[in-house]
Amino acid sequence: MIPYGKQDINQFDIDAVVEVLKSDFLTQGPKVAEFEDAVARAVDAQFAIAVNSATSALHIACLALGVKKGDLVWTSPITFVASANCALYCDAEIDFVDVEPTTGNLCAQAFKNKLEHAKLLGRLPKVVIPVHLAGHSCDMQRISELAKQYQVKIIEDASHAIGGHFQGNKIGSCHFSDITVFSFHPVKVITTAEGGMLTTQDSELAATLNLLRSHGITRELSQLTRPNEGDWYYEQHILGFNYRMSDLQAALGLSQIKRLESFVERRNQFAKYYEKVLKNLNIEFIKPLENCRSAYHLFIIRLPEDKDRKSIFNLMRQAGIGVHVHYFPVYLQPFYIKKGYFSGYCPGAENYYANCLTIPIFTQMKEKEQDFILKKLHDIIFDIN
Q: Which amino acid is at 212?
A: L
Calculate the CA 250 to chain-centre distance: 18
Cα–Cα nearest to 382, from 281, 262, 275: 281
Q: Are 58 and 82 in contact (CB under 8 A)?
A: yes
Q: Is 188 a catalytic residue?
A: yes
DSSP annotation string for 265-291: HHHHHHHHHHHHHHHHTT-EE----TT
Facing residues of 359 across strands? 299
Q: Is residue 165 classed as helix, strand or coil in its secondary structure?
A: strand
* Rounded CA separation 164/292 (Å): 7
* Rounded CA separation 304/282 (Å): 9
Backbone angles phi, psi at 166, to 5 degrees: -135, 120
Q: Is residue 301 classed as helix, strand or coil in its secondary structure?
A: strand
Put the strands of the sheet holding 169-170 in their side by side order. 169-170, 165-166, 292-293
* Residues, the chain: 385
Facing residues of 99 across strands? 106
Cα–Cα nearest to 210, from 218, 200, 202: 218
**From the CA atom positions of the chain, what is the Rg in Å?**
21
* Rounded CA separation 295/183 (Å): 13
CA-based end-to-end distance of the chain = 25
Q: Are 378 and 312 in contact (CB under 8 A)?
A: no
Helix (H), strand (E) at residue 293: strand 292-293
* Rounded CA separation 108/105 (Å): 9
Catalytic entry in 31, 153, 188, 376: 188
Report the catalytic residues.
188
